[in-house]
Amino acid sequence: MKPMLPTLTFDKPVRPGWLYEVKYDGFRAILNWSTNGIELISRNGKSLLPQFPEIKAFLLKNEAKFKPFLPLQLDGELVSLENPYKANFSAIQVRARLKAVKKITEQAKLTPCRLMVFDILILAGKPLNNLPYQKRKDKLMQLFQTLGLDAAADPANDQLLQPVLANQDFNEIWEKVVLFDGEGIVAKNKQGLWEEGKRTLQWLKYKNWKYVSCFVTAYDKTNGYFFVGVYKNKQVHGIGQVLFGFKPDEKEALGQIIKQNMVREDEQFIYVEPAICLEVKYLELVDNQLREPHFSRFRFDLEADECSYDKFMLEQRNLPKNLEITHPDKPLWDKLNIRKADYIHYLQEVSPYMLPYLKNRLLTVIRYPHGMLGEAFYQKNCPDYAPDFVDIHLADGIHYILCNHLKTFIWLGNQLAIEFHIPFQTIHSKGPSEIVFDLDPPSKDDFYLAIKAALLIKEVLDQLHLISFIKTSGNKGLQIYLPLPEDEFTYDDTRLFTSFIADYLISKDPDSFTIERMKKKRGNKLYVDYVQHGEGKTIVAPYSLRGNEQASAATPLYWHEVDGTLDPKTFTMQNVLNRLKKQGDPFRSYFQTKEIQPFAPVLEALKQGIAKKG
């Protein structure tokens, strides 16, 4: 069965009566489940189950749930899900190339792929392809609900069938796709039918192109491709080859320029010195080569030496428009060879995971205008020269910055704001939005005390059925978070609990922990600062870097990582991004936890206990 295919558009497909889905980058697949068994068929008619046995295993595990709805036919994309809006195409390609059954089985368990289902064609033996898209989508979502399956894209969920949601608002979903560096969206006509094998105008794919300024290095006479590159350390660095996107006259003109300026020629190539500059749009960089490159325009306004690798790397994610990065070569961590361009790249990559914690919070930053070599300063007031897009909020006579958008985030990075500190509530909250325990040992050598305290606290939280998260502080400590529902508790309420935990720690190990506020009286004990959790106080935001020599990051952890082998020095700017890609975000369910956190009965029990003592 040949799938229905969308038509590529370069124009924003905002139309009345249309809906918008995330476009995932993987292998198009149709799932058939009938009395003949389970099939997962690719666009080219090949079975995908030998390479991806985890999909069949998941279905068979849930066979009793699915049985009333068979025969069933679903249309979707088989993906290696990186985040809710992006699939890792190179990862699924690697999986597809595996030959050994043992290796395939191993990878299916370690890094399972998922079928992102966006359409339903047969339900309980009844064909649905003659129904409008809106009705098919409704039936698909009803099926997931009836099956008791989650309806959100989540790379951490072991549910290997996940639905692709339809969105009414193009701009809202597009903002998320750009932020999370997804491939793009598919716009679909609500009234459109599913037509087998047709490249249809009822579905339009709109891609999240990136743009690179590069120069031509060679022309391949055998296939018409133009090879392009950029300068890296004053050497030509090839980034790929482009064929599509040229109008006939543009392609002919470029060919003539190359012939007139060639430096040498062989049987296959005509070579030129870097001079002819182009703008090329592409989806992503895979194995150091542009994926799906398309010619965009000639750049006669550029010199070849302006086409740099650093600029190219900054364009790996779409920077907000009209936002210039100044002095990208400026050294920040000189000993680590981290420049401003590297830091901005970090902020771009980490923004989907960090921005939710900054949203609508009064922001305090620590700026390092001269990198780690110079003096730093705290900034609360928004400077007069801030651009118009920076949101502010007046509180206690201070015009605080609200870092609600990527544009503000990158602008702050360009201002060399390195540390991001936030209060325990949003500007809309009347009380704390979370409880945070800041476990700060007397020195880096005493980090084991933070581990000991964290594990003791975790025992209590588990007994109370409270859901907790933990991160490094980015310096020498650990921080435990309990998300709370908004506007339900006061700081007096949470103080009862933080005080209770502090007393518990000291009762368990008075030689290791103290609530003594005067440093000289603490000795080598870990200070349990339960007073720090209060109105107006701040904590470093998850994934914020710290202004220390290691370029440490305040890194979310999985609880199973908190043991004697945990070393805070390993959580740096350089490895946090790799960690996110390989292990995901340990705080991924943080905001969903707020509504189900059972703190109220714990607080009530504490109050009753205090009343009895009184």
Residue 458 designated active-site: no
Contact 526, 446 (CB under 8 A): yes
CB 543 within 8 A of CB 555: yes
Contact 418, 409 (CB under 8 A): no
Q: At 228, phi and psi to the nearest 5?
A: -130, 160
Which string of DSSP letters, residue by residue, matches 543-611? T-B-SSTT-BB--EE-GGG-STT--GGG-BHHHHHHHHHHH--TTTTHHHHGGG--HHHHHHHHHHHHH
Residues contacting residue 444 through CB under 8 Å, at least 6 positions apart? 475, 476, 568
Half-sphere exposure of 384 (CA within 13 A, CB side): 0
Q: Which helix (H) or strand (E) holds 370?
A: none
Residue whose entry in the numeric block shows the structure tokens 């649905």:
128
Residue 27 and residue 77 in contact, taking contact as beta carbons nearer than 8 Å: yes
356 DSSP assignment: H
331 sits in the region (left: phi over 0; alpha: psi -120 to 50; else beta) called: beta
Q: What angle do CA 513, 516, 522 make, to 5 degrees?
A: 65
In sequence order, what DSSP letters do the residues of 383-444 get, joined into one string? PTT--TT-EEEEETTEEEEE--SHHHHHHHHHTTEEEEEEESS-TT-SS-SEEEEEEE-SSG
Closest C-alpha to 21, from 119, 157, 167, 127: 167
Catalytic position from the list 2, 12, 23, 259: 23
- Interstrand relation of 526-528 and 513-514 (parallel, antiparallel or unpaired): parallel
CB-based contact 180:196 (threshold 8 Å): no
Strands 27-34 and 72-79: antiparallel
Q: Are 117 and 319 in contact (CB under 8 A)?
A: no
Q: For residue 346, give every residue at least 6 positions away whose Cβ sits within 8 Å of its Cβ, in sequence order, or none.
A: 545, 573, 576, 577
Distance CA 55, CA 113 (A): 8
Q: Which two tokens stand for residue 287?
A: 């194995």
Residues with a catalytic annotation lie at 23
